[in-house]
Amino acid sequence: MRRFNAILAMGIVVLFFIHAITGAFSIAGISHGGGAWFSYLAIIMVILIALHAVIGIKLTIDSLIACKRAGTSYFKENKLFWARRISGFAIMILVIFHITIFSGSTQSGAFRLNYFGIAELTAQILMVISIAFHVITNVKPHMVALGSKNLKKYTADILIVISIVLLFIIVAFIIYFLRWML
């Protein structure tokens, strides 16, 4: 199940990067939105995230059962494990805010986005930070689950690319916020 979850997570990451980069270019005013395929991509990604969350919850329950059987939780030794679980939960909550903020509505035949103020900007930046933490701390375990033998060779490159893309997304949210305010 862990290997399937790792493959699923890789799919989510790929879809996320496509969605995030396309969306960032759009909200920053660099390009127009992705059209209908962009919405379909987002729906597929939400379904995969939900499946990933269900598997994560199942694996967490299995871990809690093992802790109970062992009679100790080793919480200090497993801080990163729990931080990953908490960041995953935060992502689920913040994705709901993201969907709500960017769903918009149709008025007089034209699509209108919802207002994007400081609270919305804060929620989006927190979402990106949660995603950054969750993805970056899970790179090594997922590479191990996928059978990668050259962890050190690829890990730094992967982390740099992820960091640059996530920084670009935060900048795009700030530009979008400024476009609303000006």
Burial of 53 (0-12, 13-18, 19+ CB in 10 A): middle
- Spatial distance between the Cα atoms of 13 and 51, rounded to a whole number of angstroms: 14
Q: Is 16 helix (H, G, I), strand (E, B) or coil?
A: helix
Q: Which of 59-68, 80-89, 149-158 has the least mean pLDDT?
A: 149-158
Q: Residue 71's pLDDT band (boundaries 50, 70, 90)? A: confident
Q: Residue 46's pLDDT band (boundaries 50, 70, 90)? A: very high
Residue 63, pLDDT above cutoff 90: no
Q: Residues 17-41: what's their mean pLDDT?
A: 87
